[in-house]
Structure formats: C-alpha cells, structure tokens
A and B are shown apart, each in its own frame.
Chain A
Amino acid sequence: MASEGLSSTPEELRSTPPALVVGELSLEGGAAGGTPPTAAAGIPGRERADLFRTILTYTVMFTVAALFFIPFLWSVSTSFRTIADTVQGFSLLPKHWTTVGYHEVFYKYHFGRYTMNSAIIAGAITLTNLFLASIGGYAFARLKFPGREVLFMLVLGTLMIPDQLRLVPIYQMLVNMLPSWLGHVGWQNATFTNRNGVILINLVSAASLFLMRQFFLTIPRDLEEAAKLDGAGYFKTYRRVMLPLAGPALAAVCILTFQGSWNGLFWPAVLLQDEAQRTIPLGLVYFQTIYTTLWPQLMAASVVAILPVLVLFVLFQRYFVAGVAASGVKG
C-alpha cells in the first residue's frame, strides 16, 4: 500500500498511522528474519561452528548492552559516594556508601520542590491528555458531523509545527495577550509564565488524540448499538462502554504523555522564570552551571530524574513502543 501521509484518504488513515508505514513496532517477539535456515544441520563440524557463532553473538551483545548501561550504573554508583571518593582514583562501587548526595539534593538544593513541580506538571498534563484525547478521539472515530475529516487533518497537521516556531508567539500570548483578555472578563492579573502556562500549552497533543481515535476505530460497533437500544446517550456510551474498553490505548497515552512531560526541558526553560517553579530537568541545568564538581549530588538528582521513567518502562514496555509511531522522537 502506498501511503501519502497527510493526503491519504480517511480509509487509509484508519488502518495506518501516517508517520509510520513500515510494519509493527515491538520490543517483543517478531519474525526472526535474520536467522539463516538450518537446513544443513547434519553436516559434520556444523554444530561446532554454530556454537562458536552463538558465543560470539552473545559476547558482542552483552558488551554492547553493557556500553548502554555503564553510564547509568556509573551515575547510580557515584550518587552514593562521598565527594572525596569521586576524586580518589576509580573503584566500581563506592568506598563508603552514603546517601548524603540524595539528602543534600533534596533538602539543600531544592530538588524536593523541583520533583514536586515535575510531578504536578506531568500529572496534570497526563490527566488532561487522557480526558481530551479520549473524548475527542471518540468523536472523530464514531460520531458523524460535517467537516470531520478536514478537522482531523488539521489536528494531524499540528504534528508538523515545530515547537521552536511556537516559542515567540506563545510566549507573547501567555505574557501579554491572554492576561489582557482574561482581564476583560474580570480575571485580573493572571500570569502564565509559571507552572500553569506549561500545563496550559500542553493540555492535549495530536499524538494522544490520534492514538485514541485509532484505537476506538478497532472496537466493534455492536456494543454501542446495544447501549443505544438501552437508551444511553453519547456521553454515557463514551463513559460506560468505550472508555472501559480502551484500557490499552489509555495506558499508552498515559505513559507516553507522562514520560514526555516529565522529561520536557524546552517549555519549562521558556516559561518557568521563578526558581521555586523549576522542574527537575531545569533544576539539573542550573545546578550544573553553579556547582560544577558536586558529582554525587548531580548524579543523585539525575537518578531521581530517570527513575520514574525507568520504572514505568520496565512495567509497561509495550505501551512505550506502541506510541513511538505517533509521538516522534526527541533531538
């Protein structure tokens, strides 16, 4: 099938994400296309060659995997060291285990507050994404209204607008335009160069909405028909029939949105000017420029930044992968 992305017909979009048309993404299973068939297994010496190959493969794999893990393990190891320990030659494990790094980062360098800010921002954005993407996705998938396809194309089109283009206009909107509008309706002195601004401009993403819509399209209509015969309205059908069935899609939206906003640096760097409002990534940036050699503290803060995403990833791997097609990649 030839995909033409945004110019595809609605039917094509229903079955295929516009961004990725090259099969299924998965961390598990999949066809082992690279394995040569072992038709010649009976040839003498073949087994030994195979064994050698297997050992070689695993050695290479574990070495590469170690390369991917060493930086993380090294940061965890350092986060439990004393500062003296970081400059006295190298040892794999700390010479004296200590949690001073974590303690200082949380209580002396305000990362307790930053963690809270990150959690509030990521939590709020995740909740609004779940609600707005699911209700919008339901409407786009199931309800008929004039202009539906055009409006949906518009939503997908926003994926092509880079954040950098939005920096200046959005900053101006949040600083000047929006507070002045709100002033006219009686909400004086509203400010958005803070947490609220970061949440406001991330209320829902086209990727979340797209993911929900695609999922709703795969649910058989019978259940809705049954609900309709029982006299249930559209909102009730959405809440009582569709949402309970959409567990996997909601989980994917939840996890991807949380991960994205927890890690986000660009918008916090643009909008959060008050020290007390900083998120963990922004806190890390400033901490590094001020305290250049407090390695245990810096590593402790990095571990705190990475840990929630690692836990989510270990528990819900396949949802992360499910959304890659719709969410794109970071630079």
Chain B
Amino acid sequence: MAVKERNARGLGSERLREALVGYGFIALPMSFFLLFFIFPIGYAAYISRYDWGIFRGPFVGFDNYRQLYHDTVFWQHAVRNTLVYTAVVVPLQMAIGLSLAVVVNQAIRFRTFFRSAFYFPSLASSAAIVSIATYILASDGLLNSFLGRLGYEHSYAWFARQDTALPAIIGLNAWTTAGTMMLFYLASLQAISTEVYEAAAIDGAGAWRTFWKITFPLLKPGHFFVAVVSIIGALQMFDQSFIVGGTSGGPNYSTMTVVLYLYNRAFSAHFGYAAAIGLVLFVFIFTVTLIQRLLFGKAEVA
C-alpha cells in the first residue's frame, strides 16, 4: 500500500516535471510568436482607430476606414492593379506549372536536372531576378534586340512604360513562380494511380485525350491547392513593384499594388491609415484561405 502510494506520487511528480520542462522548452518560441505575431494583430486594429502619424494622435474611430473607402488611389490603382495582376498571373502560373509538371513526370533522362532547372528561379533572390529582367527588358536590351531580328523594331524600356510595366511584371513572375507550381502539380500527378493510365491505354486513348479526359479531372485537388497558393501569393505582391516602380508604384501608379500602397502610406507617416489597409487585406486573404479550407475539407485526397 505504502509502496503503491509512493509510486503514484512519484509518477505524478514525474508528470509535473515533464510538463514544466515542456513549458520551459517552448517558452522562448511561444513568447516570440505571441509578441510578434498574435499581439500585432490586435495592435494593428488599435492603431487603425487613431490618426496615427509617426506617433499616436487623436482617436478617430473608423475614420481611416471611411477615408480608405473613398480613396481613389487605393481603389483605382492599388486594388485594380492587384486584381488584374492576380487574375492574369494565377492562370499563367497554373498553366505553365502544370505543363512543366506533366513533361518532367515522364520517364526521361536528366529528369532531375530538368526539374531543378525549372524550380530554381523560384529560389533565387527576387531583387536579383528583377535586376536581370530590367537589363533584359531595357530599351537596348536582349528582348528588344531579339524582337528586332524578328522584325518588330522598337525601343521600349518595358518596365518604364505605363502600359507595359505591369504586364512585364506579370510575365516575369509567371516565369519565376511556375517552378513552385510545377512541384505541387508533380506531387499531385504522382498521387494518380498508374492503373488508370493502363486502362486508358487498353481502351486505345491517345496521350492528348488521356490527359484531358483523365489526368486533368483527377488533378482537381491539385488545381485547388495550386490556385489558392498562387492567389495568396499574388495578392501580396510587393518586391517586383517596389523595385520597378519605387514606393510610388510608378510610372504613374501603373505598378502600385495594395501592399506597396500600404508601405507607401506607412512611410509617408500615415501609420493609422496603413494599419487599416493591412487589416482589410488580411480579412480578404483570410476569406480566400477559408474558402480553400472549405473546398479542401470536401475534396478527397489520395
């Protein structure tokens, strides 16, 4: 009896010790997440209710949001450009990513090399990639020289013109991020059983038909996943616009995005206003993520 009791107590204190050590081990990471991730959400909401320049000003309630509602630069340039960018770049990234995935999923030589080659632009520094693109797209750059040989003589500096800057960024990012989408599609393709293909081959279906009638529909969960990842990334586009157009999203707001506008407002000493933009964007992205969760929750995944 006495022995049993001591054992039970020993076990209890052992459990307590384990719990205490557990809290000790997660103390640093947890306080970091609380301080720099969880707390800032509330703090952003707080700041957004003040006329907050560099320091806290008077309380203004929802004035920042009201002002945002009537802000033409925000709606006509930042939001519009971000939506146009997203609407074009997402299908492009998906199409290129899927094409690459299908090709490198075949039993070919140097398969690993090709996959790596297509994936690498996703890993390289965006600032360096935009620098290289600026050079290639300059008025006397590689692209114009190439187009000149094809008979389309012109001297656009693609990033510097109001009508071509955003399309050029779209093209650039479709190229750099397609490799990541390829990886996701590859994983999704490999989840499809080979028996399905064998059955199709026995039925005499050609490669093209097999792809559109069998592979493409079976990739549905993959399409959802890639689309959402791509949309969330696109809505947060900042680097390329920041480098090409500076903080004002030039030329003439043509590369202004929501995030760049937020940055621009914050560092024009309108922190309260910028916080309101951040929250609106957060709610929007959160909704997209929620929709994804709902769709994914229903999708049966191998």
Contacts and interface: CB of A to CB of B under 8 A. Distances in A.
A86 B232 CA distance: 38
Interface string B255-279: 0001100110010000100110011
A161 B37 contact: yes
Contacts of B230: 329
Nearest to A35: B107
B62 to A, nearest CB: 17
B13 interface: no
Given A2-B301, A285-B127, A301-B131, A25 B122 contact: no
A230 B246 CA distance: 61
Interface string A262-281: 11011001100000000011
A165 B115 contact: no
Contacts of B299: 2
Interface of B: 15, 18-23, 25-26, 28-30, 32-33, 36-41, 43-44, 47, 52, 55, 100, 102-136, 138, 140, 142, 145, 173, 175, 177, 180, 183-184, 186-192, 194, 197-198, 201, 207, 210, 215, 221-222, 225, 229-230, 232-234, 236-240, 242-243, 246, 258-259, 262-263, 266, 271, 274-275, 278-279, 281-282, 285-286, 289, 293, 296-302
A254 to B, nearest CB: 15
B47 A168 contact: yes
A331 B131 contact: no
Nearest to A206: B33
A36 interface: yes
Interface in A300-331: 301-303, 305-306, 309-310, 313, 317, 320-321, 324, 328-331
Given A262-B125, A313-B116, 17 more contacts: A2-B300, A22-B222, A61-B110, A135-B28, A154-B38, A259-B123, A263-B124, A263-B127, A265-B127, A281-B125, A282-B127, A298-B131, A299-B135, A302-B129, A302-B131, A320-B123, A324-B180
Given A30-B105, A36-B197, A162-B281, A23 B114 contact: no
A303 B15 CA distance: 54
Contact of A330 (B18, B114, B122, B263): B122
10 contacts: A25-B184, A27-B112, A33-B189, A34-B106, A58-B108, A61-B110, A64-B100, A163-B236, A167-B263, A204-B32
A69 B114 CA distance: 11
Given A204-B32, A320-B123, A57 B103 contact: yes
Contacts of A302: 125, 127-129, 131-132
B201 A39 contact: yes
Contact of A30 (B190, B259, B297): B190
Contacts of A37: 197-198, 201
Contacts of B121: 68
B123 A164 contact: no
A26 B106 contact: no
A317 B180 CA distance: 14
Contacts, number: 353
A170 interface: yes
A139 B125 CA distance: 34
Given A36-B201, A329-B180, A330-B122, A132 B187 contact: no
A65 B197 contact: no
Given A151-B26, A289-B246, A161 B282 contact: yes
A173 B190 CA distance: 46
A4 B293 CA distance: 6
Contacts of A234: 18, 21, 25
B126 A281 contact: yes
A39 to B, nearest CB: 7
